[in-house]
Chains A and B, each alone.
Chain A
Amino acid sequence: MKILVCISNVPDTTTKITFTNDNTQFNTAGVQYIVNPYDEIALSKAISLCEGGKGSVTVINVGESSTEPTVRKALAIGADDAVRVNAAPRDAYFTAFQIAEYAKSNDFDMILTGRESIDYNGAQVAAMIGEFLDIPSVSIIKKLDYDGTTATIEREIEGGKEILTVTGKFVASCAEGVAEPKIPNMRGIMSARTKPLQVVEAKEVEQLSTIQSFQTPPPRGTVKLVPTEETEKLIDLLHQEAKVI
């Protein structure tokens, strides 16, 4: 079994988000980068599926050389080898196209991603890879069982869940519940340095969208405090002033 896991290099979840150059660029000053937390779930699932010599896990990242520490982290967690497509990701279409191109010339049984990256929150790459490869894709999955040919998948839907099966190759984007994130151990960290990391050049593809600028949410006014002994007043405020109940 061969599994490809897509890894995104994202700012740590505690990052305060600010912008530079007239709000056109994300301010990377002082930002710590991590493996996208959802991708870690996907990677941990892939590693468990391949445990005991049942297969191998390749991680792929579309990014410039600055993302290599994140790729090495994925190797430390337990991926067998890594590929970096050497380009700054322009949009999800670009990223998905590059990964699909790589997957076309390498035979994978499944491709796993996180449900979305925590920076641009597109949740697009998995389904786009599926479309480029003309294979099924299942977005935002909560559970994955695989018997070697057929996957039984649980995915989230509004107010419940859907259970489906997929036979043959597929792409899935993983959410919480699919696997417990694995933490690299010392052996993993040591071996990550010498595991193969292949760099391939990006292929040309048209750009379909571009971010013009960013905004941060407007600051909120000061909080109106209601004393505990007058709790019922909160209901009046929500009804008459805020008009939300």
Chain B
Amino acid sequence: MSVLVYVEHADGKFKKSVYEAVSYAKAIAEQNNTNLTAISIGAVEATELSALGKYGASKVLSVNNEQLKNFVNQAYASVIAEAANAENANIVVLSNSFSGKGLGPRVAVKLKAGFVDGAIELPVVEGGKFSVKKTAFSGKAFAITEITAENKVIALNPNAFGVKESAGSEISVEDFTPADKASDFAAVVKEIIRATDKVSLPDAEIVVSAGRGLKGPENWGMVEELASLLGAATACSKPVSDADWRPHSEHVGQTGITVSPNLYIAIGISGAIQHLAGISSSKVIVVINKDPEAPFFKVADYGIVGDAFEVVPKLIEALKAHKG
């Protein structure tokens, strides 16, 4: 047996969340005294592939053909399941990214595997039981889920495990040619549009989020400036995206995106239970609100009771001074 990790690329490059998934999968391989194989699908350069050795992969299977150039979950799931069988892998790890969410369940059904999505810790193997901690109730709780099936698929949340380098791993890169299954390609990717100048919200390490306290979409300039200085993603509360001040893709909360950054800065957000659910696994929370009774202060690590229009420009100045 072995462990297989799917390494998802964006425009031929791996992101931090992939290195996290590899580090996590390596730790699981060590728990089981076995090796870690990575599978990459699409055009990724050999140097990028062999860099995965640093995080513990000892082999990379690379699938690079025209038909599989773009992500089609049905086809990618077939390839990953085939690779898992070829490698005799009974544990498959992937990132719980947007694509991962469409892919993991299909792989799990193909392998008849128990599936845990949104894993936030290493599995615990005890008394023959294999269990994984995952987020539940949109961040209001955690569920310890036991995978009872022989095969296991785990999707790891971003920023949950961290990137860990492994010493002295030799890595081999091999081409992998999967079986051709024409019926897997009924979905056809037409266009991929990525804003290259923006930090992506779900895996951002720092998030600057603002709410109705900002009074209108025209006041987001300072939020964006603060975010840009911090290398942060911008986010918002539900009322703000409902009012179309900001796009739905920025809505953080129970019915929006759940984030787990190292630093979450909330500006002019009162802290409704639904919003708090989406940010509860943030490591450090800063709240700026003029209402000292705002519920958000109860979960904050640092707070400033003050008007956002006064505090945020000061923060921007202080940050510029700090960065010199």
Contact = CB atoms under 8 A, between A and B. Distances in A.
A131 B106 contact: yes
Contacts of B319: 235
A234 B191 contact: no
A197 interface: no
B318 A234 contact: yes
Contact of A220 (B104, B114, B195, B299): B299
Contacts of B115: 92-93, 124, 208-209
B98 A158 contact: yes
B164 interface: no
Interface string B158-170: 0000000000000
Given A212-B145, A244-B263, A245-B263, A128 B106 contact: yes
Most interface-central of B73, B110, B297 (chain A CB within 10 A): B73
Interface string B299-311: 1111111110011
18 contacts: A14-B273, A93-B108, A93-B115, A119-B136, A124-B105, A130-B74, A158-B202, A159-B194, A162-B191, A163-B191, A210-B148, A212-B131, A217-B142, A232-B321, A234-B315, A242-B263, A244-B206, A244-B262
Interface residues of B, number: 102
Contacts of A92: 105, 115
Contacts of B241: 176
Please provide the 5 A-B residue pairs with the shortest distance between their CB atoms, ordered closest to farther: A139-B102, A232-B318, A160-B194, A159-B200, A228-B306
B188 interface: yes
A209 B148 contact: yes
Interface in A23-66: 37-38
A79 to B, nearest CB: 21
Given A37-B255, A132-B109, A137-B102, A157 B192 contact: yes
Contact of B102 (A121, A122, A127, A245): A127
B136 A120 contact: yes
Given A164-B188, A214-B143, A158 B136 contact: no
Given A14-B273, A160-B195, A163-B193, A234 B144 contact: no
Given A163-B191, A208-B149, A177 B248 contact: yes
Given A16-B140, A158-B203, A162-B189, 6 more contacts: A13-B255, A161-B193, A165-B190, A168-B186, A217-B280, A235-B318
Contacts of B135: 121
A226 interface: yes
Given A130-B106, A217-B142, A223-B303, A139 B230 contact: no
Given A16-B273, A124-B115, A210-B148, A136 B187 contact: yes
A231 to B, nearest CB: 4
A132 to B, nearest CB: 6
A132 B280 CA distance: 34
B147 to A, nearest CB: 5
B173 interface: no
A122 B105 CA distance: 9
A235 B315 contact: yes
A226 B114 CA distance: 47
B186 A160 contact: no
A217 B105 contact: no
B13 interface: no
- Best-surrounded residue of A132, A168, A176, A236 (most CB of chain B within 10 A): A176
Contact of B77 (A125, A131, A214, A224): A131
A239 B322 contact: yes
Interface stretch (B19-27, B48-56, B283-291): B283-291
A21 interface: no
A231 B322 CA distance: 13
Contact of B74 (A124, A136, A226): A136
Nearest to B151: A208
Contact of A121 (B138, B183, B322): B138
Nearest to A159: B200
Interface in A190-242: 206-217, 220-221, 223-228, 231-232, 234-239, 242
A174 to B, nearest CB: 12
A20 interface: no
Nearest to A123: B101
B147 A209 contact: yes
B133 to A, nearest CB: 8
B259 interface: no
Contacts of B304: 225-228, 231, 234
Contacts of B142: 214-217
A177 B117 CA distance: 24
Interface string B272-297: 01100000110111110000000001
B268 interface: no
Interface in B106-140: 106, 108-110, 112-118, 129, 131, 133, 135-140
A72 interface: no
Contact of B302 (A130, A211, A223): A223
A224 B303 contact: yes
A207 B146 CA distance: 11
